[in-house]
Amino acid sequence: MTRTRSAARTAGWLAAVAAVLFALLAAWVIRAGPSRPLPGDTGLTHWSREHRPAAAAVLARLITDTGTGVVPYALLLLAGLLAGRTARQRVTTAAGLALCLAAGQAVRWYVMWLIARPRPAVADWATHASRWSFPSGHTSTATMTAGLLIAALFLRGTRVPRTAVALTAAWAAAVGLTRVYLGVHWFSDVLGGWLFATAWLSLVTWGYLTLTRPHGRLPS
């Protein structure tokens, strides 16, 4: 089995496992009902409210704002332009990364609309929020963006800086945790965002390796 085929098989299994776990969590959320958080949700929300000084809240809002809007797309466009070696590679890679995120966001929005889980009580909020709660949009967007940024590093070459990978992953995790800390999401919403993003990224990776780019390299 070639290295690319083995990686595709691993990505396929990871996509399946993450999708099943997400489906189980979503089913639990639906079964519990819109007004009943899952075990641990309430305790973490209350802890966040009681340990949220003004300075920490400001920092959390700064971090959480990077997980939505134009920031993720700007990061992906920049990563795509840096990953390519030719003008064609730069344009196609940047467009592909942005399209992957946009498609993932569209699927996530539809799932969120179907489940229609309310957010925690507005009294617990320390930032603005809108629409439904599960899965967390900021969390899934930041996690998908982080995964695509790391993928762009691998497209650039086989020698990927571990520090860059670790910092990118830490940023995505921080965005998710700030959603709980700021009181606008239950932790199960964030966990759902992580699982959804993992399933989506793994599925895209599987498709890229097996269908679009059989050798896992950028076209020349």
Q: Report the Cα 75 to chain-centroid distance in Å.
A: 14
Instruction: Measure the CA–CA gap between 153 and 159, rounded to whole angstroms.
Output: 9
Residues 159-194 have pLDDT tens digits of: 778 899 999 999 999 999 999 999 999 999 999 999
Q: Is 142 within 8 Å of 175 (Cβ atoms)? A: yes
Comparison of pLDDT for 219 and 124, the residue scoring more:
124
Residue type, 106: A
HSE at residue 70, side-chain half, CA atoms within 13 A, is: 0
User: Which spans in the chain are helix H?
Assistant: 3-32, 41-50, 54-65, 70-83, 87-115, 137-156, 162-181, 187-207
Say yes or no to pLDDT of 5 above 90.
Answer: no
Q: Structure pTM?
A: 0.91
Comparison of pLDDT for 220 and 71, the residue scoring more:
71
Please return the burial class of 57, using the count of CB atoms within 10 Å of its CB with bins 0-12, 13-18 and 19+. Answer: middle
Per-residue confidence (pLDDT) for residue 158, from 0 to 100: 63
Confidence band, pLDDT 50/70/90 cuts, at residue 156: confident
What is the rounded (10 degree) CA torsion for 174, 176, 181, 185? 170
Cα→Cα distances 27→21, 42, 135, 141, Å: 10, 19, 12, 22
Per-residue confidence (pLDDT) for residue 219, from 0 to 100: 44
Residue 143 has which token pair? 């996690």
Residue 153 has which token pair? 């590093």
Domains in the chain: ranges and CATH: 3-212 (1.20.144)
Neighbours of 156 (CB within 10 A): 16
Residues 107-132 have pLDDT tens digits of: 999 999 999 999 999 999 999 998 89
Confidence band, pLDDT 50/70/90 cuts, at residue 7: confident
Distance between start and end Cα atoms, the chain: 25
3-class DSSP string for 155-215: HHCCCCCHHHHHHHHHHHHHHHHHHHHCCCCCHHHHHHHHHHHHHHHHHHHHHHHHHHCCC
Residues 8-63 have pLDDT tens digits of: 899 999 999 999 999 999 999 999 987 789 999 999 999 999 999 999 999 999 99
Comparison of pLDDT for 154 and 133, the residue scoring more:
133
Confidence band, pLDDT 50/70/90 cuts, at residue 220: very low
Per-residue confidence (pLDDT) for residue 212, from 0 to 100: 61
